[in-house]
Amino acid sequence: MNNINTININTSKRIEMIDITPNILQLIKEQKISEGICSIFVPHTTAAVTINENADPTVVKDMLNTLNKLIPHQNNYLHSEGNSDAHIKASLIGASEVIFIQNGKLMLGTWQGVFFCEFDGPRSRKVWIKFLTS
């Protein structure tokens, strides 16, 4: 039970946010975890993970539109790969999250979900999940 779990994600757009809450809940269920901490890590330099509203899908659209306005795809960047905006977005949003688990449930707020954030897709991505159980 003390291993690192991998969630594989094939993204379909250059920039998108994918709700991975069900994937994490599935792992908790499969491994019969009732109490502990869920640590989530994205091992990529142009992707990230965040927690935000998964009830109204326009929230995610507004977040992505605003990120694109703040950090445009083209902006005389020096990095020759042409994806500097994705690197900047990834660092702003961050590579990890930690959530408590109680009674077999992720202790998220009513409107919260966990989102994998793609900033330079489409690509094959992974998210590492580690459960620390008490």
Q: Binding residues for Zn ion, per CB under 5 A? A: 81, 83
> C-beta of 104: minimal distance to Zn ion in Å?
40
Alpha-carbon gap, residue 13 to 16, rounded angstroms: 6
> C-beta of 82: minimal distance to Zn ion in Å?
8
Alpha-carbon gap, residue 74 to 108, rounded angstroms: 36
Phi, psi of 128 (to 5 degrees): -100, 135
CB neighbours of residue 89 within 10 Å: 23
Of 134, 116, 130, nearest in space to 40 by CA: 130
> 46 or 54: whose CB is closer to Zn ion?
46
Q: Which residue is nearest to Zn ion (CB)?
A: 81
> 54 or 84: whose CB is closer to Zn ion?
84
> 22 or 122: whose CB is closer to Zn ion?
122
> C-beta of 14: minimal distance to Zn ion in Å?
13
